[in-house]
Amino acid sequence: MKTLRYSLLAVLLVLIYSCGGEKEKKEDKEQIKIGTKKEESKSESSAAATIGLTGDDLMQYNIKEIKVKAGQEVTINLRHIGKMDIKVMGHNFVLLKPGVSITEFSLKAAEAGETADWIPDNGAEVIVHTKMIGGGQSTSITFTAPEAGTYDYICSFPGHSALMKGKFIVE
């Protein structure tokens, strides 16, 4: 009786294993002839650039260099990935006009204070800026890239521009 059970179990296992079969794997292999270029489909218009920029509680931007084309529509999506409050660790994106000293601008921003959103002289030395945000918040700004050149961008919260800065390169 035991042998019959073991035999039936063995036959059942063989049937289950053999009926399962192998799944046929189909791979779409792309064929490209040597000496030709693959055409890429662009879902976004080349006339627009969207940049995801983050700032954290360690006063760091995730990107130190941004490249765009002159006249291109640019959207900066700034996200504060830290947890600290806006009054302690606020962040923004400030694109300075050519020739503006980061140190001097930062001193003026500290003097302008929170009521001016840390932007001195109603933004006279600024091309564009986002609002100040705190931990977990995000903001966005869309603008037309200025003429070709290299511009500085910073966070204007007091003391942040020493670490939170980068180059905005317009080609």
Q: pLDDT band for position 41 (50/70/90)?
A: very low
Fold of 48-170: Immunoglobulin-like (2.60.40)
Strands (E), the chain: 48-55, 65-68, 73-80, 94-96, 126-129, 138-144, 149-154, 165-170
Write out pLDDT tens, residues 98-122.
Answer: 999 999 999 999 999 999 999 999 9
Q: Which residues contact 153 (CB under 8 A, 6 or more apart)?
A: 66, 93, 94, 95, 96, 165, 166, 167, 168
Decide if pLDDT at 20 tops 60.
Answer: no
Domain boundaries, the chain: 48-170
Structure tokens at 165: 């800065």
**The pTM is what?**
0.72
| Paired residues of 38 in beta bridges | none
Write out pLDDT tens, residues 57-82.
Answer: 999 999 999 999 999 999 999 999 99
Q: pLDDT band for position 8 (50/70/90)?
A: low
